Structure 1
């Protein structure tokens, strides 16, 4: 790798490499130490092509979700089976992993700006701005940037566009899928909301059993599936379809910020 080689977004890969190494070393104990991350599906990661892969996931914190995925993806590619033991996998990480994030979030402070260099594809929210509901038109440059990222590697997106559970899937995700025909890999996470604050920067509770389930790619007919059908497939895959509410007590949803005693590890 050339010292000043850049990715399609103009980021110097050598700097990105060391950023991932340093940030990875600093955050590892958040998922293997202070808390315990249970992983399923490492074999799925190892069988994916190098480019045009879209990960769709439910969302619980601004940053911790993505950081955990960077750990799990690179550990899996290094041959680890459902674990992130020994951070040696950070020495040669996959540098073409990107994640979709709100531009407003990634500009809010020095740390988010540093993390953005690690792989953010920052977009403008069309439905919310500065804490208020808005109705803006999608910027074609944002769509183009996601396509660029898919052509170069893997992209992580949180199609609900919020950390609040049970919110509807944004149709823009279905549009990206129809347009680019990526392999779509669903991920279901849990425990992050109980482990960290909303931003995912501060450890709120230790000893939590976190989980990340990487499912097999979705079966999508890119030509014939409608946008609504693709949205529904994603909702079921990331376990955010309204039908799941029928089997989850309302009290449990309303107390989603409280500690789930059945998943707590006590020291």
Structure 2
């Protein structure tokens, strides 16, 4: 019976462990080889509680963002600080780790279905479906699934719900935070859009500097802060607030391009 122990979503843990091991080894060189992932703040990970932690992040690719987090989190839990050197950390992965993803994305082919088994909380988007803008009610079963995952462990979410930068943060994340009061840890990533294709499966360019910053947990007054207050706090934390947008002069753009060249490895 113990060999086929399952998590709250019915996934067999030993199978999930071997899938994470396999794809962890396969994907490692994408972040330490073809490109080098520069990590900041991973010492925060080992001090987090084992359950009811919500990671919020900006979003650049469908899958590479999450895969990098599995690497960084497991490496940090094994004692590595700001490093994913030596993929041996993936041998004993954290199994109660989940991520929120669009149901239509996770059903689109065999590979996404395998990724889903490794930890997806697949939900129906309320604002977009099959490339069309829509407006439908939030499914309570989706909220219950996120709550179940928080109760069991850690959850990764991309509160903008899209890989397009500077799109508004969805209020659903604020509702989850106020209702379930998780520890909220912001993450800011960059370079993934340049190094991978949109799905995050194919390497588009090599020698791109990828950055991964883990920030201190947000201070949130769960009882008194409004949904709008929490949304604004999230936007600033993941550096997607409109104030981060600014019009650059031609000179500044050229200087930035030169800097990007220098940042290449």
| TM-score for the superposition, normalised by structure 1 | 0.94
Q: 1:219 to 1:250 in 2, by over 3 A?
A: farther
Instruction: Work out the CA distance in 1 between the residues paired with 2:249 and 2:10.
Output: 47
Q: Partner residue of 1:256?
A: none
- Within 5 A, what are the aligned runs for 1:103-252? 103-246=103-246, 249=248
Q: 1:250 to 1:178 in 2, by over 3 A?
A: farther
Instruction: Work out the CA distance in 2 between the residues paired with 1:167 and 1:155.
Output: 21
Q: Equivalent residue of 2:168, what SS?
A: coil
| CA deviation map 1:193-232 (0-9, x unaligned) | 0000000000000011100000000000000000000000
Residue 250 of structure 1 and its aligned partner are, at CA, apart by 8.5
Q: Equivalent residue of 1:216, what SS?
A: coil
Instruction: Work out the CA distance in 2 between the residues paired with 1:118 and 1:169.
Output: 26
Instruction: Work out the CA distance in 2 between the residues paired with 1:262 and 1:227.
Output: 41
Q: Equivalent residue of 2:19, what SS?
A: helix
Q: Partner residue of 1:8?
A: 8
Instruction: Work out the CA distance in 1 between the residues paired with 2:244 and 2:18.
Output: 41
| CA deviation map 1:20-72 (0-9, x unaligned) | 00000000000000000000111110110000000000000000000000000
Work out the number of aligned pairs and report it: 259
Q: 1:18 to 1:243 in 2, by over 3 A?
A: same
Instruction: Work out the CA distance in 1 between the residues paired with 2:83 and 2:173.
Output: 29
Residue 264 of structure 1 and its aligned partner are, at CA, apart by 1.8
Name structure 2 gaps, 5 residues minimum: 254-258
Q: 1:130 to 1:232 in 2, by over 3 A?
A: same
**Runs of 4+ with >2 A deviation:** 248-253, 259-263
- Residue 50 (structure 2) pairs with residue 54 (structure 1): no
| CA deviation map 1:146-184 (0-9, x unaligned) | 000000000000000000000000000000001100000
Residue 263 of structure 1 and its aligned partner are, at CA, apart by 2.8
Q: Partner residue of 2:22?
A: 22
Instruction: Work out the CA distance in 2 between the residues paired with 1:219 and 1:236.
Output: 13
Aligned-residue RMSD, C-alpha: 1.6
| CA deviation map 1:71-109 (0-9, x unaligned) | 000000000010000011011110000000000000001
Q: Equivalent residue of 1:156, what SS?
A: strand
Q: Partner residue of 1:263?
A: 263
| TM-score for the superposition, normalised by structure 2 | 0.95
Residue 110 of structure 1 and its aligned partner are, at CA, apart by 0.4
- Residue 68 (structure 2) pairs with residue 68 (structure 1): yes
Q: Partner residue of 2:91?
A: 91
